[in-house]
């Protein structure tokens, strides 16, 4: 090994030790801003192999979270990302968890980022940006998502490993692994209710869909069975 290679190796090791959360793998980085008025700052939001880091020149505004310190990552739109943590918001808001929202100021959240987070995080991930789908769906049905006065139209699509709501409206689409769903219920022929773990930490959010066509035969039974599949037995013998 040459002296130049030795020096370079020492420098890389030093950088990795100084930044353990995001140093283990190349990070997905986005220029962002966060906060309001006097608390606003601009910097870089990076998703690494071990966690998430917000780097900024503003004093005391940089943050680092290992993935186990995060309740839920929410990609609310292509340009809005929220990190919900286990941190308390202070004595004035007892038991309320701290959520830090970021606005991407250049570019947008990508399907590659979503795929990375889904592979990295076992906890439910909220995303309106859909990952790259590598296989064909089993079922598709046109629906309307009922949400106050601002519903959206789209398709409810069932894959072998996920339920997807595809909508052209920004921020309306969703991708749910079956483990990210709490329950599903069809109260009548023209409605499907899906209860999701969108709040993190066990909190749930209902999604009500009006069906524009009958559910394809097998759609509901397949989805119900996937959500309610028994958890695999844990081996407690140490073998």
Q: Examine the domain organization and report whether 60 and 90 are in the same domain.
A: yes
Average pLDDT estimate for 194-222: 93
The full 3-state SS of 102-165, as one line of letters, equals EEECCCCCCHHHHHHHHHHCCCCCEECCCCCCCCCCCEEEEEEEECCCCCEEEEEEECCCEEEE
In terms of domains, do 27 and 61 share one?
yes
* 119 and 146 share one domain: no
Q: Give the residue-averaged pLDDT of 102-131.
A: 95
pLDDT tops 80 at residue 12: no
Is 12 in a helix, a strand, or coil? helix
**What's the structural domain count of the chain?**
2
Residue 114 pLDDT greater than 60, yes or no: yes
Q: Which domain covers residue 53, as residue numbers? A: 19-127
- Average pLDDT of the residues in 6-26: 46
Is 32 in the same domain as 99? yes
The answer, yes or no, to whether residue 147 has pLDDT greater than 60, is yes
Residue ending a domain, among 127, 159, 192, is 127
- pLDDT top residue among 6 and 47: 47
Last-in-domain residue among 127, 150, 172: 127
Average pLDDT rounded to a whole number, residues 224-236: 78
| pLDDT at residue number 68 | 92
- In a shared domain, residues 41 and 108: yes
> pLDDT at position 215, please?
96
Question: In terms of domains, do 116 and 145 share one?
Answer: no
- Asked if 159 contacts 138 with a C-beta cutoff of 8 angstroms, the reply is yes
Among the residue ranges 24-38, 50-64, 99-113, the one predicted with the least confidence is 24-38
223: CATH: 2.30.29.30
pLDDT at residue 202 in the model: 72
Distance, in Å, from the CA atom of 67 to the CA atom of 180, rounded to the nearest integer, reads: 17
Residue 27, pLDDT score: 58
- Which region among 11-20, 53-62, 137-146 has the lowest average model confidence (pLDDT)? 11-20
- Note whether residue 88 is domain-resident: yes
Q: Are residues 167 and 69 in the same domain?
A: no
Q: How far apart are CA 163 and CA 146, in angstroms?
A: 17
pLDDT-based confidence at 6, cuts 50/70/90? very low
67-86 pLDDT, tens digit each:
999 999 999 999 999 999 98
pLDDT at 38: 80
Q: Give the DSSP per-residue string, 54-80.
A: EEESSTT--EEEEGGGEEEEEEEETTE
Which residue in the block uniquely carries the two structure tokens 């909190």? 203
Residue 239's pLDDT is 54
HSE, side-chain direction, 13 A CA sphere, residue 95 = 1
Q: Indicate the SS3 state at residue 17.
A: helix
């Amino acid at each position: 090994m040459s002296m130049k290679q030795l020096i370079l190796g020492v420098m890389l090791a030093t950088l990795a030790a100084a930044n353990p959360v995001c140093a283990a793998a190349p990070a997905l980085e986005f220029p962002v801003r966060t906060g309001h008025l006097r608390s606003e700052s601009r910097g870089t939001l990076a998703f690494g192999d071990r966690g998430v880091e917000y780097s900024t020149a503003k004093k005391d505004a940089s943050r680092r979270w290992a993935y186990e310190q995060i309740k839920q990552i929410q990609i609310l739109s292509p340009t809005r990302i929220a990190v919900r943590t286990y941190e308390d918001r202070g004595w004035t808001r007892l038991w309320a968890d701290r959520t830090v929202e970021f606005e991407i100021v250049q570019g947008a959240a990508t399907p590659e980022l979503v795929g990375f987070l889904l592979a990295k995080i076992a906890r439910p991930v909220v995303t309106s940006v859909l990952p790259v789908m590598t296989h064909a769906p089993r079922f598709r049905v046109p629906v309307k998502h009922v949400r106050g006065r601002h519903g959206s139209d789209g398709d409810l699509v069932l894959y072998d490993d996920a339920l997807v709501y595809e909508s052209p409206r920004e921020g309306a689409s969703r991708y749910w692994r079956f483990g990210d769903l709490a329950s599903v219920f069809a109260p009548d022929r023209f409605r499907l209710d899906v209860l999701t773990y969108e709040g993190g930490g066990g909190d749930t959010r209902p999604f009500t869909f009006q069906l524009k066509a009958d559910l394809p035969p097998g759609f509901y039974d397949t989805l119900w069975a996937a959500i309610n599949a028994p958890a695999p037995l844990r081996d407690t013998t140490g073998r």
